[in-house]
């Protein structure tokens, strides 16, 4: 009969590794199962900016303490080791599709002159973060099983059994689902049937050397459209912490049969108003990602499985949010076992904390406006963004980003009424349609894991 661990953790991203480290340090017996052979290697697109230093997010204000080499979570009262490189950035610049106008969020020059003290945040190496967490987990006795693909989960009596594609089984009193945005465990538990599906985001990212955007130490964010389709595509150029003169260049948006995001990115680099940024640039590495957009799981617990990180959230809990959930879940399990309550009651404080700090902190529907805000098409996007001529406050909170831009556009309503009454009519119509309904075309072209 296989060993029964206190907890079997599925997934070795920020959530799973953090949960493993904390559970191991608390003295629990832990198995960590990860599909990738090399756990810290980065195989999926991610900009890895420390999100979010400048304001509360998920009830926290995390920041990178570069002197102590730690990422600090002052509200939740913990920090994690971070031994890797970082690069500061100072503003966020959104470019109109025709490349003729830039909406400035954050005073780049003023912030840059203050260096680390006034930065907006920093890009850091996820690889170093994961390696540090993995080292700590191993040092605390966690048994780590890389190259292990979980395909099944069942609860028999008071024990959970995790089944793998390699024909192995791992048994635990608790399971932690930390298997990311397209979580198989959440699907196997049947929880996706209780969630609303809004679409699938796909994207392609290149690490490139020699990229020269106008404001290099910022997020450069052109809005693109493809082949006359009305769907906005996010392009992103930010610094990469992984090498000298290296940038992360990305294009992504909702999956659509007529949009090939590699083609979009290549065209933006070779033949677009932004091509001059890439005149002498070369690609050094490529990644992609596929991420389903769901409403949050109703409750991050079922059958003694605690759901953490992206697995139960709408798109991204971010690396930082994922670590917070992993740590809380591990601590809740520790308490439950010590109290002799290895059940839902025992981990109730995790469920309550998650409800308050994730769905309770931000309405996930506001995230959807990020996807729908440019649905009016290229011509209208060019017109509206050009009205924003003042420097806006910068927020790394994706929910506030759109609010800040829309707030400025709304301040120019008299001008729009005069110059483009057709846009006012369109805005009035859109305002009556719930954002979930606006997402309908995206849901139809997505591929949900029900
Ligand atoms: C384009 C893009 C840009 C981003 N930019 C940022 C950013 O700037 N800052 C930031 O903080 N976050 C960013 N994120 C989000 C961040 O990457 C995620 O929120 C974070 O990695 C989630 O951590 P997690 O541990 O929940 O899941 P993941 O990091 O996805 O980890 C899940 C792990 O589970 C493993 N796994 C999956 N299925 C199985 C299985 N069946 N069996 C075994 N193992 C399995 C996977 O291999 C993976 O290692 C970005 C994401 C994307 C897509």
**Ligand 1 atom nearest to CA at 203:** 1
What is the average pLDDT value for the chain, to the nearest integer?
95
Query: What DSSP string runs through 296-313?
Result: PPSSSEETTEEE-GGGGS
H helix or E strand, kind and range, residue 63: strand 63-65
The mean pLDDT value for 132-157 works out to 98
Length of the chain: 450
Q: Which of 15, 39, 73, 316 most suits a substitution to test ligand 1, by most atoms within 8 Å of the C-beta?
A: 316
Tell whether ligand 1 has an atom less than 6 A from the beta carbon of residue 317.
yes
The mean pLDDT value for 161-169 works out to 97
Q: Are 313 and 305 in contact (CB under 8 A)?
A: no
Residue 338 banded pLDDT, cuts 50, 70, 90: very high
CA-nearest of 323, 316, 324 to 289 is 316
Over residues 261-315, the pLDDT tens digits come to 999 999 999 999 999 999 999 999 999 999 999 999 999 999 999 999 999 999 8
C-alpha to C-alpha distance for 406 and 393, rounded to whole angstroms: 13
**pTM, entire model:** 0.96
Gyration radius from the chain CA atoms: 22
Query: Which range has the worst mean pLDDT, 34-43, 181-190, 248-257, 368-377?
Result: 368-377
Domain ranges of the chain: 4-83+125-195+294-357
pLDDT the model gives residue 436: 87
CA-nearest of 238, 257, 39 to 128 is 39
pLDDT the model gives residue 1: 64
| Nearest-10 crossing angle of helices 364-372, 398-410 | 60
400/342: higher pLDDT: 342
Tell whether ligand 1 has an atom less than 6 A from the beta carbon of residue 392.
no
Over residues 194-241, the pLDDT tens digits come to 999 999 999 999 999 999 999 999 999 999 999 888 889 999 999 999
- pLDDT at 407 > cutoff 80: yes
H helix or E strand, kind and range, residue 364: helix 364-372
Measured by CA distance, the residue closest to atom 31 of ligand 1 is 13
Q: Are 42 and 18 in contact (CB under 8 A)?
A: no
pLDDT the model gives residue 339: 98
Strand partners, 199: 293
C-alpha to C-alpha distance for 295 and 313, rounded to whole angstroms: 7
pLDDT the model gives residue 185: 98
pLDDT the model gives residue 364: 86
The mean pLDDT value for 16-25 works out to 98
Sequence-separated (6 or more) residues with CB below 8 Å from residue 322: 13, 14, 15, 18, 178, 308, 309, 310
pLDDT the model gives residue 362: 84
CA-nearest of 133, 134, 135, 110 to 120 is 110
Q: How far is CA 363 from CA 161, 272, 367, in A?
A: 34, 36, 8
User: How many whole angstroms from 209 Cα to the centroid of ligand 1?
Assistant: 25
- pLDDT at 72 > cutoff 90: yes
- pLDDT at 325 > cutoff 70: yes
Measured by CA distance, the residue closest to atom 37 of ligand 1 is 179
Distance of CA 411 to the CA centre of its chain: 31
User: How many whole angstroms from 20 Cα to the centroid of ligand 1?
Assistant: 16
Tell whether ligand 1 has an atom less than 6 A from the beta carbon of residue 34.
yes
Residue 82 banded pLDDT, cuts 50, 70, 90: very high
Over residues 32-69, the pLDDT tens digits come to 999 999 999 999 998 899 977 778 889 999 999 999 99
- pLDDT at 358 > cutoff 80: yes
417: exposed, middle or buried (Cβ count in 10 Å: 0-12, 13-18, 19+): exposed
* CATH 3.20.20.70 is the classification of domain 4-83+125-195+294-357: no
The mean pLDDT value for 411-421 works out to 96
Tell whether ligand 1 has an atom less than 6 A from the beta carbon of residue 253.
no
pLDDT the model gives residue 66: 93
Residue 349 banded pLDDT, cuts 50, 70, 90: very high
């Amino acid at each position: 009969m296989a060993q029964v661990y206190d907890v079997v953790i599925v997934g070795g991203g920020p959530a799973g590794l953090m949960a493993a480290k904390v559970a191991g340090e608390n003295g629990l017996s832990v198995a960590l199962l990860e599909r990738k052979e090399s756990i810290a290697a980065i195989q999926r697109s991610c900009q890895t900016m420390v999100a979010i230093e400048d304001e509360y997010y998920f009830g926290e204000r995390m920041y990178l303490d570069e002197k102590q080499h730690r990422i600090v979570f002052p509200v939740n009262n913990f920090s994690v080791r971070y031994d890797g490189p970082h690069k500061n950035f100072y503003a966020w610049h959104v470019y109109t599709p025709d490349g003729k106008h830039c909406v400035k969020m954050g005073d780049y020059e003023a912030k840059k002159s203050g260096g680390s003290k006034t930065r907006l945040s920093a890009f850091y190496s996820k690889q170093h973060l994961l390696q540090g967490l993995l080292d700590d987990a191993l040092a605390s006795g966690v048994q780590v099983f890389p190259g292990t693909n979980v395909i099944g989960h069942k609860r028999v009596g008071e024990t959970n059994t995790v089944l793998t594609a390699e024909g192995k089984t791992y048994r635990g009193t608790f399971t932690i689902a930390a298997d990311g945005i397209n979580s198989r465990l959440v699907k196997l538990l049947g929880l996706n049937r209780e969630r609303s599906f809004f679409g699938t985001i796909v994207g392609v990212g290149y690490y490139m050397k020699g990229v020269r955007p106008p404001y290099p130490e910022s997020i450069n964010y052109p809005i693109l459209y493809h082949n006359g389709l009305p769907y906005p595509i996010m392009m992103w150029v930010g610094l990469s912490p992984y090498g000298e003169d290296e940038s992360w260049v990305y294009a992504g948006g909702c999956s659509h049969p007529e949009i090939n995001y590699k083609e979009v990115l290549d065209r933006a680099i070779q033949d677009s108003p932004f091509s001059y940024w890439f005149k002498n640039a070369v690609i050094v590495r490529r990644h992609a990602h596929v991420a389903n957009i769901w409403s949050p799981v109703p409750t991050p617990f079922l059958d003694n499985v605690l759901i953490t990180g992206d697995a139960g959230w709408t798109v991204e809990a971010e690396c930082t949010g994922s670590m917070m959930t992993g740590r809380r879940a591990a601590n809740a399990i520790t308490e439950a076992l010590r109290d002799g309550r290895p059940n839902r009651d025992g981990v109730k404080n995790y469920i309550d904390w998650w409800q308050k700090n994730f769905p309770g902190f931000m309405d996930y529907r506001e995230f959807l406006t990020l996807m729908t805000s440019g649905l009016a098409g290229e011509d209208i996007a060019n017109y509206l963004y050009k009205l924003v001529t003042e420097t806006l406050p910068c927020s790394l909170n994706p929910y506030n980003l759109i609010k800040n831009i829309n707030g400025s556009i709304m301040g120019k309503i008299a001008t729009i009424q005069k110059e483009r009454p057709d846009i006012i009519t369109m805005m009035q119509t859109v305002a009556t349609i719930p954002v979930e309904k606006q997402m309908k075309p995206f849901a139809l072209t997505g591929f949900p894991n029900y």
